[in-house]
């Protein structure tokens, strides 16, 4: 696993964007794995700068979001479909027809999950998956004890996650749905590259558990340890609990030039 400790959240966003841009440079019709929440916003902002300056063209790329709430009213601005449209598809000038989000309003939710898995497969799989991490170690909406082999499915959100996400619902915990659809850990692990971003001290324990703790369903982010091409980009605050921080800094300082991404 590549672990990079950066001075601040902005640098984390820039480094994530550089990695995604490198994938798209090599493959203009790349399939991007998109995530929501606050963690990836810096990456999207840095990608936007590249798109606006003409250095990056995402018009041929496609995208799959990680997850979606179940049961929100159609068109709800808290839906991840609305978030992806506002934060990603529009500003990054991606073709909306090529960007999918699980259908949390589907009449047959199980069929919607199977359909989502099929769509990812038909697109040739995800080339680079951007991930955040929850304070309880979740990735996507795979809460602790999610099967490491899990596929896209319906999950019940934990109280912790609902409390954490209430800020997107004007602080109204009751308004946060109880259920969601999320890509499974097995689905996420099939992406060719994983880029996890984390900022702030609230994520320090989850980052340390995912990177340095045992591989366990109790910390869904620990599945990154199974992936052959996973990068973790953290700011100083999110790196605070890493025991081998000095080693990660040493590794980056001595990185061979052919390995650098910018």
> Is residue 37 involved in binding ligand GLP (CB under 6 A)?
yes
12 membership: H or E segment, kind and range: helix 9-26
Q: Which of 21, 66, 101, 204 binds ligand GLP (CB under 6 A)?
A: 66
Nearest by Cα to 47 from 79, 7, 18 = 18
Q: How many residues bind ligand GLP (CB under 6 A)?
A: 14
According to DSSP, residue 70 is labeled S
Q: State the binding string over 119-148 for ligand GLP (x if CB under 6 A, else -).
A: -------------xxx-----xx-------
* Radius of gyration in angstroms for the set of CA atoms belonging to the chain, rounded to a whole number: 17
Q: Which stretch binds ligand GLP (CB under 6 A): 36-44, 91-99, 171-179, 224-232?
A: 36-44
How far apart are CB 37 and ligand GLP at their closest, in Å? Answer: 3
**C-alpha–C-alpha distance, residues 191 and 245, integer Å:** 26
CB-based contact 172:166 (threshold 8 Å): yes
CB nearer ligand GLP, residue 206 or residue 242: 206
Residue 138 annotated in active site: yes
Q: Which of 30, 67, 105, 223 binds ligand GLP (CB under 6 A)?
A: 67
Place of tokens 């609230």: 202
Find the catalytic residue in 87, 103, 136, 235.
136
According to DSSP, residue 142 is labeled B
When CB distances to ligand GLP are compared, the closest residue is 132
Place of tokens 């960007």: 99
CB-based contact 33:126 (threshold 8 Å): yes
Give the list of residues 6+ apart from residue 254 with CB closer than 8 angstroms, or none.
none
- For the segment 165-204, give every residue that binds ligand GLP (CB under 6 A): 165
Q: What are phi and psi of 156, to 5 degrees?
A: -100, 130
> Is residue 161 involved in binding ligand GLP (CB under 6 A)?
yes
Q: Which stretch binds ligand GLP (CB under 6 A): 34-42, 45-53, 70-78, 186-194?
A: 34-42
Residue 179 annotated in active site: no
Place of tokens 């702030």: 200
Residue 235 annotated in active site: no
CB-based contact 16:42 (threshold 8 Å): yes
How far apart are CB 75 and ligand GLP at their closest, in Å? Answer: 20
> Is residue 239 involved in binding ligand GLP (CB under 6 A)?
no
Give me the active site residues, please. 67, 136, 138, 143
Positions in the binding site for ligand GLP (CB under 6 A): 35-39, 66-67, 132-134, 140-141, 161, 165
């Amino acid at each position: 696993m590549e672990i990079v400790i950066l001075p601040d959240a902005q640098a984390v966003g820039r480094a994530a964007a550089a990695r995604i841009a490198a994938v798209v440079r090599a493959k203009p019709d790349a399939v991007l794995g998109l995530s929501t929440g606050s963690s990836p916003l810096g990456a999207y902002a840095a990608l936007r700068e590249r798109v606006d300056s003409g250095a990056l063209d995402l018009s041929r790329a496609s995208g799959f979001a990680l997850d979606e709430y179940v049961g929100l009213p159609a068109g709800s601005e808290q839906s991840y479909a609305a978030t992806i449209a506002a934060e990603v598809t529009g500003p990054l000038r991606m073709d909306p027809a090529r960007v999918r989000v699980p259908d949390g309003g589907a009449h047959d939710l199980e069929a919607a999950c199977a359909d989502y898995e099929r769509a990812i497969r038909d697109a040739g799989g995800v080339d680079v998956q951007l991930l955040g991490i929850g304070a309880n170690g979740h990735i996507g909406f795979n809460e602790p004890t999610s099967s490491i082999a899990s596929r896209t499915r319906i999950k019940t959100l934990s109280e912790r996650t609902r409390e954490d996400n209430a800020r997107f619902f004007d602080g109204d915990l009751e308004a946060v749905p109880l259920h969601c659809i999320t890509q499974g850990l097995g689905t996420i692990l099939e992406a060719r590259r994983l880029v996890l971003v984390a900022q702030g001290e609230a994520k320090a324990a989850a980052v340390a558990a995912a990177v340095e703790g045992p591989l366990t369903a109790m910390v869904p982010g620990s599945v990154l340890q199974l992936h052959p091409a996973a990068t973790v980009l953290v700011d100083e605050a999110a790196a605070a609990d890493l025991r081998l921080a000095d080693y990660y800094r040493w590794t980056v300082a001595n990185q061979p030039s052919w390995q650098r991404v910018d």
